[in-house]
Amino acid sequence: MQIENILQDAIISAIKELYHADVEPAQITLQKTKKEFKGHYTLVTFPLLKLSRKKPEETAEEIGNYLSQQSTIIAAYNVIKGFLNLTISSRVWTALLEEINSKPEFGFTPVADEAPLYMVEYSSPNTNKPLHLGHVRNNLLGHALSEVLRANGKRVVKTNIVNDRGIHICKSMLAWQKWGNEETPSTTGKKGDHLIGDYYVLFDKKYKEELAALQEKGLTRDEAEAQSLLMEEARELLRRWEAHDPATMSLWKMMNDWVYDGFDETYRQMGVSFDKIYYESQTYLAGKEEVLRGLKEGLFYQKEDGSVWADLTSCGLDHKLLLRADGTSVYMTQDIGTAKLRFDDYPIDTMLYVVGNEQNYHFQVLSILLDMLGFEFGKGLVHFSYGMVELPEGKMKSREGTVVDADDLMAEMIATARETSQELGKLEDVTPEEAGRVATMIGMGALKYFILKVDPKKNMTFNPKESIDFNGNTGPFIQYTHARIQSILRKTREQGITIPEQLEQTLPLSEKEEGLVQLLAEFETVVKQAGAEYNVSLIANYVYDLAKEYNQFYHDHPMLREENSALRNFRLLLSKNIALTIKKGMSLFGIDVPERM
């Protein structure tokens, strides 16, 4: 039952009867009535004045009077200037609750075989370091966006492109060769990605020491960098890799395998996964082929040193390097190859790249280059550009080892969740095993929710202490609300009360009860809007509003102590469906909600 649609039809009929004019549905502006006014929906009459040829207040009064007499769903109305506030009768809300209850998947659209196929790329790690806080936001956004699209009936392929080649990988390899003493994840007890990340940091440390020594001899910074033997060794290692030197390839494969094992463990803890993983070591050759084809066809040009470039000045941009003088690829070349292989593998309708906003220019260029190369999908690529995430103390730097490691962060969140829950007495009635599960649920829920509630386009500061708070706009607050409702429902069963699916239609509902049903019904609209706008934060903040409104309702309205059994049943059915909606909304973020807490 779409109340807005019923209202819209009734208003169109009223205008036709009152003013002898036809009006399109798009001209009917309905809004949710503001809390300071009485009513559920507000009609903005200003767009209708050219039809009524009357003042706003008079137009609103005439339409309100007509609807109250002709429409059975209108219980009352009031006019504030040019705004007509309409109160929907209680029986409509009761019927709407019954309808929502009859649809366990309310708000979600089933995925049909012929539905559009969306490919969502996220994560995109480098194999020279472990995942950090920036990757956490990327992975959580990519996973949530994929789930929201699926909830909107889209087919979704979740994909990852692993940056497993390039000079940065060679830096870690070289450092391990020179100073690693054959150590492995097994001999050190370290996760593979952490072990390799240590060598990336070590390379940077040794490189800076070498530059400082050269500069002490009187060289400038640029001269020192040009004469760096360490950097030349790393470049030579890259050249040997591209030449498929057996020893270099063996070392590369061994170290990458260590990293992949570490990544997989982090992904499992984070609750994200992929349907297809691409590797730049496999896609860069396809990119080189396309660039060389473009060169042959006159789309690109070659400089005297052998490097290949694209002239994008006609697009208002500059000249873009595609192949270096030594023939090695750049990121853009690899992305061209990856895009081609993906569209060869899947009948993709929309390709979404979940990548930070510092890469806006990169994806603008990628789209242009693919279009130049004749790929029809070039112009349709979507860059899901999101803001950076920082800590209260500021930015992070991978090569200096000052990043917040994803594994450490998740472990800290779970430990803090356990400590906070114990202090508040939230884990008193559970077994130690269940306490561990609940602490993990709360810690990871706090992390995911705090990040996903922020508009993706905005930069954000992640504050671990703020995120684990059982009050306010946090994951634990929402999780506790779900657990509170489950406690009520358990007591209901213990008392032998069966919640009926058919309710008494003439219940004297309060404004808070009617408002909660109205808010519950908005879940469907919010899920659609989040999918259309690629903005998962809309769902996060909707679920928070639902939990907040329910808690206010819970404090003011008795449940099992309500003497009117019909009203008690309404409140219990309402509570049951609010808990289910909270669970569904949080599930889109990979957040579990506890049964008890």
Query: Domain range spanning residue 570?
Result: 416-431+442-587
pLDDT tens-digit profile, the chain (597 residues)? 589 889 999 999 999 999 999 988 888 989 999 989 999 999 999 999 999 999 999 999 999 999 999 988 999 999 999 899 999 999 999 999 999 999 999 999 999 999 999 999 999 999 999 999 999 999 999 999 999 999 999 999 999 999 999 899 999 999 999 999 999 999 999 999 999 999 999 999 999 999 999 999 999 999 999 999 999 999 999 989 989 999 999 999 999 999 999 999 999 999 999 999 999 999 999 999 999 999 999 999 999 999 999 999 999 999 999 999 988 888 899 999 999 999 999 999 999 999 999 999 999 999 999 999 999 999 999 999 999 988 776 544 444 445 788 999 999 999 999 888 887 777 777 788 888 898 999 999 999 999 999 999 999 998 888 898 888 899 999 999 999 999 999 999 999 999 999 999 889 899 999 999 999 999 999 999 999 999 999 999 999 999 999 999 999 999 999 999 999 999 999 999 999 999 999 999 999 999 987
Asked if residue 407 belongs to a domain, the reply is no
User: Residue 161's closest CA among 279, 75, 271?
Assistant: 279
Q: Do 72 and 142 share a domain, yes or no?
A: no
- Final residue of a domain: which of 88, 106, 132? 88
331: closest CA among 302, 274, 291? 291
Query: Using the 8-state DSSP alphabet, how is residue 124 labeled?
Result: -
Q: What does the angle CA 576 – CA 492 – CA 1 come to, to the nearest 5 degrees?
A: 25
- Residue 581 lies inside a defined structural domain of this protein: yes
Q: Are 406 and 133 in contact (CB under 8 A)?
A: yes
CATH of the domain at 11: 3.30.1360.70
**Nearest to residue 28, comparing CAs of 14, 48, 13?**
48
What's the CA gap between 173 and 460, in Å, rounded? 34
CA distance 263 to 163: 13
Domain boundary among 72, 88, 104: 88
Answer yes or no: is 95 within a domain.
no
Do 324 and 221 reside in the same domain of the chain? Answer: yes
Q: Is 112 inside any structural domain?
A: no
Q: Residue 521's domain is classified under what CATH number?
A: 1.10.730.10
Same domain, 376 and 469: no
**What's the Cα-to-Cα distance from 412 to each of 472, 516, 547, rounded to whole Å?**
21, 36, 26
67 and 145 assigned to the same domain: no
Say how many domains are in the chain: 3
Domain-located, residue 482 = yes
* Boundary of a domain, candidates 88, 114, 145: 88
Concatenated DSSP letters for 435-447?
HHHHHHHHHHHHH
CATH number for the domain spanning 342: value is 3.40.50.620
Do 436 and 406 form a contact (C-beta atoms < 8 A)?
no
Q: What is the DSSP string of 430-495?
A: S-HHHHHHHHHHHHHHHHHHHHHTS-TTS-EE--HHHHS-SSSSSHHHHHHHHHHHHHHHHHHHHT
360 in a structural domain: yes
Clarify whether residues 153 and 81 are in a common domain.
no
Q: Domain for residue 109, yes or no? A: no
Query: Do 421 and 385 belong to one domain?
Result: no
- The answer to whether residues 451 and 325 belong to one domain is no
Question: 323 and 282, same structural domain?
Answer: yes
Q: What is the pTM of this model?
A: 0.91
Sign of CA dihedral 418, 421, 422, 423: positive
Q: Tell me whether residue 216 is in a domain.
A: yes
Both 521 and 569 in one domain: the answer is yes
Q: Are residues 374 and 499 in the same domain?
A: no
